[in-house]
Amino acid sequence: MIYVKSIKIKTKKKKFNLFDTIISSKCKFKDGDVLVLSSKFVAMSEGSILDLRTIRPSSNAKKLAKTYQMEPTFVEVVIRESDVIFGGLPGFLLTIKNGILAPNAGIDRSNIPLHKIICLPFDPFLSAENLRLEFLVRSGIKVGIVISDSRLMPTRIGTTGVAIACSGIEPVEDQRGKKDLFGHIMKYTLKATADSLATIGTFVMGESNESVPLVVIRGSNVSFTDRKLSWKDFAIDYQTDLYFRGIHNFNPIK
């Protein structure tokens, strides 16, 4: 049986120690727990907040801002944070960052003071790894870490969860070669374990004023690992992606 527990933590407005804050929640963590953390919570702990009034937009940012009816300073940050920019529509640029398709490179303006924005953690895999090791060294507990973000899915209404990084668990389970209920050999199926856990976490966390940046999932029966992970363990290049390959005439502008 899977057990899911939400952890409420007082809203943070500046940099803080992530491990100490989690431990102070008084939750009794156990070996095998998977901790799903909001990307904003992790980013806030690292001080990844920018004041748009300090940003100087480039000529390219000004051009894109005019085209897509956006603030030039905000567009400048999106350009800096993105790996690829495909285009957009009023208010949004469609980007890829670390293998994830996202509006505005995942930059968030909700639950943030006026003129401020919060970016994704600079190196989320390192953040996840460091937190996992702190649990192991300081508490003697072996946990898995998933850093989640909310995402819009193409053709779907509303947001769901996606893992932007993880540590301590295998992010994908290869089910190729197994048999289905009718004995057919599965040829293509890979189970997105980290993304599935991120979706559970995102659902429990909510999207507004719930103050639940951390969810503990127990009994998930995931495969634990000590190997170093990167976004390439989660994602494929967009040029080989099934959906992108099926849509013609997509040309990134960055």
- Domains, the chain, ordered by start: 1-48+120-233 (3.30.1330.100), 49-119 (3.90.1660.10)
pLDDT at 208 (0 to 100)? 60
pLDDT at 10 (0 to 100)? 86
- Kindly indicate the confidence band of residue 249, based on its pLDDT and cuts at 50, 70 and 90: low
| Residue 247 clears pLDDT 80, i.e. is over it | no
What are the respective helix, strand and coil percentages of the chain, to the nearest 5? 30, 25, 45
pLDDT at 206 (0 to 100)? 80
**Strand order across the beta sheet in which 34-38 lies:** 3-7, 214-218, 34-38, 144-152, 159-167
| Residue 33 clears pLDDT 80, i.e. is over it | yes
Taking the alpha carbons at both ends of the chain, their separation in whole angstroms is 46
Q: What is the pTM of this model?
A: 0.90
- Kindly indicate the confidence band of residue 94, based on its pLDDT and cuts at 50, 70 and 90: very high
pLDDT at 178 (0 to 100)? 73
Least confident of 85-89, 98-102, 188-192, 232-236: 188-192
- Kindly indicate the confidence band of residue 123, based on its pLDDT and cuts at 50, 70 and 90: very high
